[in-house]
Amino acid sequence: MGLLTSALTGARDLLGARRDPRRTAWPDVTPAAAPRRVACCICGWSGPGFQGVAHCESSTCPACGSIARDRFLYHCFVRRTQWRPGLRVLETSPRLGADYREAMARRVDYLCSDYDQRAHRGAISVDLQAIEMADASLDVVLSAHVLEHVPDTDRALSELHRVLKPGGHLFLQVPLLQGGTAPPAEPEYHGDRTLVYWRFGWDLTARIREHGFACTALVTRDLYRRARGGDPGWPSVSPEFDVEEILRMVRPGDLTPVATDRVARRARFEPSYMFVTWHASKAG
């Protein structure tokens, strides 16, 4: 009976994954002609290549406009959470526009926010240091390249923990340009002219855990291998990333690989040192 129960459970899990609407292609997206060497996990487009270069801020999908880091965040969200009807998701300052938000609203109970409604118009305004939402009101928070613009990291993490339901998930992306956290040496702004308060490093994992979360840093299999002592070199290194320090200060036990080499090539999560997303979960 135990083997039969296990087999039935596995079959239900597989069927549930196939029915997960987060994995379905957008209805108006048509794959390009062969060869289809790359694929977008957000909209379902596939084709010979993305636009631009191998970089987290490039490799743009011609159908939905996602760049590589958008796809890695979405990949982590789908891989690490179980879909169910009514899954309540808040995304802070989403980079993608109306088509993406409509697609997300078809897949989950979706809400998007922004702080000042300047560069990333949201449905609501949210200051991560004082989130005007009820306790335990969200299942998932997706937050990409926002925390570095928040003055008080601890207040923001405390608030994020408060608004998540028991068993809820936070997927947090920040630019990982160096090994340890420090303020910028001189005033620094990102593309939307938003001031950067913090340049985060690997110690963000411990900082998140201090606020009651279980936490791991999600990475590609390639970065995981290198962190554990594999070949430290990459064919090319972007000057804004201190790759030597990133590898020197990484704690392999804090990493979880979520993308095989094949998946990373298809989605262009390359070079791998540019792709890290923190997964923080609240105890159920």
Give the Cβ contact number of residue 161 at 10 Å.
Answer: 18
Structure tokens at 237: 């290194």
pTM confidence score: 0.91
Per-residue pLDDT tens digits for 32-64: 988 999 999 999 999 999 999 999 999 999 999
What's the pLDDT score for residue 117?
A: 52
Residue 214 DSSP SS3 = strand
171 forms beta bridges with: 142, 279
Structure tokens at 78: 């789908």
User: DSSP class of residue 274?
Assistant: G
What's the pLDDT score for residue 11?
A: 40
Which is higher by pLDDT, 191 or 40? 40
Residue 127 has pLDDT above 60, yes or no: yes
Per-residue pLDDT tens digits for 213-253: 999 999 999 999 999 987 767 777 788 999 999 999 999 99
Per-residue pLDDT tens digits for 252-272: 999 999 999 999 999 999 999
- Phi, then psi, of 52 in degrees rounded to 5: 100, -155
* Rounded mean pLDDT, 86-101: 94
Cα(218)–Cα(28) distance, rounded to whole angstroms?
31
Contact present, 101 and 112 (Cβ < 8 Å)? yes
Contact present, 218 and 76 (Cβ < 8 Å)? yes
* Rounded mean pLDDT, 23-28: 94
| Domains along the sequence of the chain with CATH | 67-282 (3.40.50.150)
Cis-peptide into 271, omega within 30 deg: yes
